[in-house]
Structure 1
Amino acid sequence: MAGCFSFTASHDRCYRFSFSNTGLKSTTTGLGNTTIMHCWVPKSHKPNKPSLLLLHGMGANAMWQWNEFISQLTRRFNIYVPDLLFFGEAHTSKPNRTESFQAQCVAALMEAHCARRMNVVGDMENGLFVVKNIDEAAMILIPQTPEKMKQLVKLTFVKPFKVMPACFLTDFIDVMCTEFRQEKKELIETLYKDRKLSNLPKITQPTLIIWGEQDQVFPLELELAHRLKRHLGENAQLVVVKNAGDAINMEKPKELSKIFKSFLIDSTTLPMQENLSNGRKLD
């Protein structure tokens, strides 16, 4: 019996073609006998271009979160887009679920590709928010029903899709949210456990913090963005994107592309204080 058509799987194939068409190739790298990392890397590394590492957040695989920006960024950078553990094609049999272990695996992956110096862009989509308990957070961040999927969309978008047919939501859940469900829940449990801003390392490199003005996951009025900037110090700058929620990469891709360009490219010739002033709102 022939299988049913999957909109999500079809979309995933389109993203795969899009990544390949911009000069990237899909690779898998074994880190010992227990961990497999997947990453989109340049088909041909250009020594005259700087390297750029794109890290995704909770959600689908890396392609779904970075597809809007790949064609523009590959013109200027050698792009590396890994799937974090338990997303896409990356997995491990080790029990460690900490963000430090994720970082170690990404670092080992980049070392395997001889990329030792790079710019880093991280996507905190669908991150940490106020809930009654970890189980409730997991039910929203790893939705298993159309109702929970709708709740996640409403939480992360300023203007959620008006029509969200249950059949499409169920299809997305089946393709993107069922595999490694327990492992993803354990990741969320580890992220919530004893998390304090003071425990975060201080980054000495120039850092840009991008925040959605109407973010419901990390509400701007809770001052987390400004606290994070103060924690990182004078090398950090904050840009607030107007009329955007937590999923800035999907709601405001053009604005986000301009921000990336201004910080990653134009800042080499223009003073950053003129380009992106602290706390400035960007239309």
Structure 2
Amino acid sequence: MFPHLKLPRCFSFTASIDWFYRHSFAIAGLRSVITDIGDGDGTSMHCWVPKIHKPFKPSLLLIHGFGANAMWQYGEHLRHFTSRFNVYVPDLVFFGNSSTSSLERTESFQAACVIKLMQAHGVGKTSIVGISYGGFVGYNMAVQCPEMVERLVLCCAGVCLEEKDMEDGLFIVSDLEEASSILLPQTPHKLKELLRYSFFKPTKGVPSFFLTDFINVMCTNYVEEKREMIQEILTDRKLSNLPKITQPTLIIWGEQDQIFPLELGYRLKRHIGKQGQLVIIQKAGHAVNLEKPKEFAKHLKSFLCDSLWSPPSSPTWKDHIHFHIKNKVN
């Protein structure tokens, strides 16, 4: 019907969606920047930063988890915050356009990199939202640089897991090799498995060519480095070694999370204590930010936006009386 409109043989649905997200981030007032933050270790980080940093606005840092790049995980939520915050959305090292020649693979190293990135952009204080692995990084930032982190949101982040949890059968997988094959899918079958574990109601009937396209665009870079990161998450991990944090913290969890079971959410709430509050979203899995975006955004806004400082109120009659009394005394 339209002979002049032909899809190129190399057309990629995933790349097209990625382009759409890039366009939407630019429209939202952000720009794409790569910053060299290494101390001789060749570390550079990509980040979406405000085109114009407005000093009167607080800052908000959105940290992604494993999976697609940061745009895919926060694209649905960006519009809720750009009017209230200077928003920063980085790609963690070995994701998107961030890389390093360092052999470090810990979330502590990732946190140190993000701290340097924010300092390079002149950000002294910020609130943080961390999804899954991003929550591990955000928690470590709160430990390493408490004066920088004002408020913290941890979404389905199994920060309180222990190495023995896998042996005790808390997870759906029995060993790290199986976990890596699912979290870093290299075949359509493994990607379907990841979707089944990540969503309470996963989309059915996704064509294999689309899954293959997604893997080719999103899942083939730094696979070995990411496997080593997964290994580091569990190795010798004990709750007794996890430092306490004092920042106000919102913990959000999908009731049916199969990647990091809800028990870890309760455990995290107990560990943080009175500074933490736990919100459980019903009929949602690990990808609660994608599966229940409206409910997820509602809790974020309630915790982050409603707590902002209100502008100074107009002087009252008491203020005027106090002013005149003070002047007479002086």
Q: Same fold (TM over 0.5)?
A: yes
CA contact (8 A) 1:24 1:43 kept: yes
Q: How many residues align?
A: 267
Counterpart position of 1:27? 33
* Partner SS, residue 274 of structure 2: coil
SS at match of 1:68: coil
Tell me the distance in 1 between the aligned counterparts of 2:54 and 2:96.
26
Deviation sequence 1:138-179 (CA, Å, 0-9, x none):
100000000000000000100100111100000000000001
Counterpart for residue 69 of structure 2: 61
Please give the alpha-carbon distance, in whole angstroms, between the structure 1 residues aligned to 2:172 and 2:16: 34
2:293 equivalent to 1:253: yes
The one of 243, 257, 282 aligned to 1:215: 257
Matches within 5 A, 1:94-173: 94-124=102-132, 129-173=171-215
Contact 2:131 2:157 in 1 (8 A): no
CA contact (8 A) 1:37 1:89 kept: yes
Find 1:237's aligned residue among 272, 277, 290.
277
- What is the rounded CA distance, in whole Å, between the counterparts of 2:17 and 2:203 in structure 1? 17
1:277 — aligned with what? none
Q: What is the percent sequence identity of the aligned residues?
A: 59
**What do the CA deviations read for 1:60-115 (whole angstroms, capped 9, x no partner)?**
11001000011111011000000001110001011000100000000000000000
Question: How much is the aligned-residue C-alpha RMSD, in angstroms?
Answer: 1.6
Q: Which residue of 2 aligns with 1:203?
A: 245
Residue number among 36, 44, 48 corresponding to 1:40 in the alignment: 48
Alpha-carbon shift at residue 224 of structure 1 (Å): 1.7
Aligned equivalents of 1:268, 1:8: Cα separation in 2: 37
How far does the alpha carbon of each residue in 1:18-60 deviate from its partner, in whole angstroms, 9 at most, with x for none?
1011000000001234111000000001111100000111111
Counterpart in the other structure of 1:174:
216
Partner Cα distance (1:240, 1:267) in 2: 20
Go from structure 1 to structure 2 and tell me whether the alpha carbon gap of 1:80 and 1:102 turns closer, same or farther (over 3 Å shift). same
What secondary structure, in the 3-state scheme, does the structure 2 residue paired with 1:54 have?
Answer: strand
User: Residue 14 of structure 1 corresponds to which residue in structure 2?
Assistant: 20
TM-score, structure 1 as length reference: 0.91
Residue ranges of structure 2 left out of the alignment (5+ in a row): 1-7, 134-155, 159-170, 311-330
Number of the residue aligned with 1:263: 303
How much does 1:131 deviate?
A: 2.0
Shift of 1:127: 6.6
* Distance apart, 1:132 and its partner CA: 2.0
Hey, what does 2:101 align to over in structure 1?
Answer: 93
1:52 aligns with 2:79: no
1:118-145 deviations in Å (ceiling 9; x for gaps): 0011001797644222111110000000
SS in 1 for 2:24: helix
Partners of 2:253 and 2:280 within 8 A in 1: yes
Partner of 2:235: 193
User: Which one-letter code corresponds to 2:282 in the other structure?
Assistant: K
Q: Which of the numbers 74, 78, 85 marks the counterpart of 1:70?
A: 78
Write out the 4+ residue segments of structure 1 that deviate beyond 6 Å after TM superposition: 125-128
Q: Which runs of 5+ in 1 are unaligned?
A: 271-283
Is this contact kept in 2: 1:60–1:176, CA < 8 A? yes
Letter of the structure 2 residue corresponding to residue 166 of structure 1: S
Structure 2 vs 1, CA of residues 215 and 267 (structure 1 numbering), >3 Å: closer, same or farther?
Answer: same
Would you say the 8 A contact 1:127–1:217 is kept in 2?
no
